[in-house]
Amino acid sequence: MSAAALDPPRRERNKQEKRERIVAAARRLFSRKGFAATTTAQIAERAEIGAGTLFLYFASKDDLLVAIFREQMDAVVRGALATLPKRGSLLDEMVHVYGAMIDFHERDPELARAFVKEMLFVSGKNRAAVHEFIDGLDAQFAERIVLRQERGELDASVPALLVAENCFALYIARLQKWLGADARLASAQHIARLREAFALQLRVLELKPARVLRAAPRTASLRKRGR
Amino acid sequence: MSAAALDPPRRERNKQEKRERIVAAARRLFSRKGFAATTTAQIAERAEIGAGTLFLYFASKDDLLVAIFREQMDAVVRGALATLPKRGSLLDEMVHVYGAMIDFHERDPELARAFVKEMLFVSGKNRAAVHEFIDGLDAQFAERIVLRQERGELDASVPALLVAENCFALYIARLQKWLGADARLASAQHIARLREAFALQLRVLELKPARVLRAAPRTASLRKRGR
DNA sequence: GGTGGAAACTGAGCCTAGTCAGTTTTGCGA
DNA sequence: TCGCAAAACTGACTAGGCTCAGTTTCCACC
């Protein structure tokens, strides 16, 4: 009926719209009842599709979560990059961006937990998207490192991309530790920890003469930081 | 019958023995048919217990996997620590130990994948065990760092434990990336990558005058390493 | 040696992610 | 306008992890 003046890609449009309905339904239910307590049948019902249709769009419930979350992380990172502190140090910039992600994760730790657990293990289109996200982030910071290296502020003999990749590794590993814990630290504290870790990695970029200043008493270097 | 001269803790002994049977059955089935293809019912049958009994000993199938794997990793690390290269650098030592773990993971990537995905998110007794394992490993390396700091070989102003923790983070993050990939690199290549990452982190420990030697051409620092 | 109650155990059955044979919708060429 | 192949969709069904009400085993105390 009335299949009149629709752009040729009607099929495509329908599909896209259906996908949106699924995502919207899932988002709502996940945040309302939690990830584990939401069934795929409920999502399908709310999206007004058959129970099996959901799996034509997403390979699994986990896949769906990762797709949703990754899109949101994109926005978070874009926002953070747009509000970088003027004249801040590289460390400040990194903490600003990664801190924004951490704050976001803190809003719904159960979802974040499931996402962080899955993100590196999804396959298919989502896997590519996740890795593009990570590579993009690494590239952003690598660029900012190079910028400073060219300005002579940082040691130019250090491979910038590798530093950026290492920082992401520090972020993800600590995030997992944080979210994996039953009793969770406040995000502010977690960010402070991450800053320490970053600072240590970024020291390799410091120009040589600048160091040595505050030499700690030797035994202090093994001291356990309060947990 | 003949319940004669058994030590009082019979209950305890039975429990321990039953746990062993479950672990043995699971190990065998997992390595024979893979993790996903093994059902908890099969494990229970082989261990000669009821289907529900398994869950009195392990909270979930994942929990069981983590318990088994962690015990094995203990052995791997003990072995690697016992065969540390004499007179090797700190980097050599780290690559020796973490490389042994990677080689172990390569033997059964499907199991390793499942383990690595779960290990930081398990709860209960297993969670404590996993974190003891990690903390123990970090402490080992921190000790070796301090040793060299005291000998004057490394910069004593750098917090040793934090360096060790960062290295573990690099290990775990890269391991996840490696195991998450569909087409997997040979472990030797993966170890080489990890070595690079470690090397970069460990530079912070170098004594100041030693650096600058081979200054790379400035633009080279962003160059993408071949993948 | 008997007994009460706790700890350990069992397996039928529940729940839900994911499948697939069959049905409907769509786009296109005649 | 019609026919038809391919794409999209459906929901009854399956598999398997996990639960829990009921049963058995164990042991401390009489």
Is A196 exposed, middle or buried, given 0-12, 13-18 or 19+ CB atoms closer than 10 A?
middle
Strand C closer than 7 A to residue A39 Cβ? yes
Q: Of A147, A171, A161, A146, nearest to A94 (Cα)?
A: A171
The pLDDT confidence band at residue B184, using thresholds 50, 70 and 90, is confident
Other beta carbons less than 10 A from residue A187's beta carbon: 18
Which of the residue ranges A4-8, A37-41, B8-12, B84-88 would you say has the lowest mean pLDDT?
A4-8
Q: Of B58, B37, B40, B141, nearest to B94 (Cα)?
A: B141
Strand C closer than 7 A to residue B50 Cβ? yes
Query: Can you give the pLDDT at residue B210?
Result: 45
The pLDDT confidence band at residue B14, using thresholds 50, 70 and 90, is confident
Q: Of A173, A179, A145, nearest to A160 (Cα)?
A: A145
Distance CA A144, CA A147 (A): 5
CA dihedral (B195, B197, B199, B202) in degrees, to 10, reads: -130
Cα B199–Cα B203–Cα B204 angle in degrees, nearest 5 = 135
DSSP conformational letter for A121:
T
Does the predicted model carry a pTM greater than 0.85?
yes
DSSP conformational letter for A57:
H
The model's pLDDT over A168-208, given as tens digits with 9 standing for 90+, comes to 999 999 999 999 987 788 999 999 999 999 999 999 999 87
Query: Can you give the pLDDT at residue A182?
Result: 77
Other beta carbons less than 10 A from residue A210's beta carbon: 10
In one-letter notation, the amino acid at residue A227 is R
Secondary structure, 3-state, chain B? CCCCCCCCCHHHHHHHHHHHHHHHHHHHHHHHHCCCCCCHHHHHHHCCCCCCCHHHHCCCHHHHHHHHHHHHHHHHHHHHHHCCCCCCCHHHHHHHHHHHHHHHHHHCHHHHHHHHHHHCCCCCHHHHHHHHHHHHHHHHHHHHHHHHHHCCCCCCCCCHHHHHHHHHHHHHHHHHHHHHCCCCCCHHHHHHHHHHHHHHHHHHHCCHHHCCCCCCCHHHHHCCCCC
Distance CA A97, CA A88 (A): 12
A and B: number of Cβ contacts within 8 A: 153
The model's pLDDT over B22-78, given as tens digits with 9 standing for 90+, comes to 999 999 999 999 999 999 999 999 999 999 999 999 999 999 999 999 999 999 999
Minimum-distance residue to C7 (CA–C1'): B11
pLDDT at A220 over 50: no
What percent of chain B shows pLDDT beyond 90? 81
CB contacts under 8 A, B 151-210 vs A, are: 155-163, 165-166, 168-170, 172-174, 176-177, 179-180, 182, 196-197, 200-201, 203-204, 208-209
What are B22's two structure tokens?
């479950």
Query: Can you give the pLDDT at residue A227?
Result: 36
Report the residue of chain A nearest B205, measured CA to CA.
A204
Give the pLDDT mean for B149-177: 97
Contact criterion met (CB below 8 Å) for B209 and A211: no
Residues 45-64 on chain A lying near strand D, CB distance under 7 A: 49-53, 56
CA distance B187 to chain A (A): 18
Distance CA B227, CA B224 (A): 8
Which of the residue ranges A154-158, B1-5, B10-14, B143-147 would you say has the lowest mean pLDDT?
B1-5
Note the CA–C1' distance, B108 to C17, in angstroms.
Answer: 26
Cα–Cα distances (Å) from A21 to A14, A45, A72, in that order, read 11, 11, 16
For B29, list phi and psi in degrees, rounded to 5.
-70, -40
Query: Can you give the pLDDT at residue A181?
Result: 87
DSSP conformational letter for A8:
S
Note the CA–C1' distance, B52 to C11, in angstroms.
Answer: 7
In one-letter notation, the amino acid at residue A112 is A
In one-letter notation, the amino acid at residue A72 is Q
What are B44's two structure tokens?
């229970």
Bases in strand C with any atom closer than 7 Å to a protein CB: 7-13, 15-21, 26-28
Contact criterion met (CB below 8 Å) for A135 and A59: no
The pLDDT confidence band at residue A45, using thresholds 50, 70 and 90, is very high
Cβ B221–A180 below 8 Å, yes or no? no
Give the pLDDT mean for A110-119: 97
Query: Can you give the pLDDT at residue A9?
Result: 67
